[in-house]
């Protein structure tokens, strides 16, 4: 039995790139965040399907299941940290006096 090498974790591009809407084009902040949520959700669903496949005995490798779980967990943690930073920035702006 050969075990394939571990590939580096590829985060969804929508998590690592946040663009500001510019007049005349570009993505809105809302669409970027929706894309990030959908990407994280897809990773969570893939990890769940991988685990279900393994538990049903459908030939899924244990190390692939573990990697899928870790990848989904890291993506969720990263998204959670980005959300926390956004909430913190929003609160800071609300504290500003005009």
Domain count, the chain: 1
- Identify whether 40 is part of a domain: yes
pLDDT of residue 31: 87
Q: Does pLDDT of 9 surpass 80?
A: no
pLDDT of residue 32: 84
pLDDT of residue 58: 87
- Residue 1 to residue 66: CA distance in whole angstroms: 18
- Identify whether 48 is part of a domain: yes
Domain that holds residue 89: 20-95
67 or 20: whose pLDDT is higher?
67
pTM listed for this prediction = 0.66
pLDDT of residue 14: 54
Query: Mean per-residue pLDDT for 41-55?
Result: 93
* Tokens 């943690």 sit on residue: 77
CA neighbor of 4 nearest in space, from 53, 67, 48: 67
Query: Mean per-residue pLDDT for 14-20?
Result: 51
């Amino acid at each position: 039995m050969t075990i394939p090498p571990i590939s580096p974790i590829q985060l969804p591009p929508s998590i690592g790139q946040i663009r500001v809407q510019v007049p005349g084009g570009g993505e809105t902040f809302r669409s970027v965040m929706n894309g990030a949520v959908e990407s994280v959700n897809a990773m969570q669903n893939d990890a769940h399907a991988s685990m279900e496949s393994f538990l049903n005995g459908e030939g899924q490798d244990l190390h692939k299941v573990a990697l899928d779980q870790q990848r989904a967990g890291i993506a969720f943690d990263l998204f959670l940290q980005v959300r926390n930073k956004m909430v913190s920035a929003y609160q800071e702006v609300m504290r500003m006096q005009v």
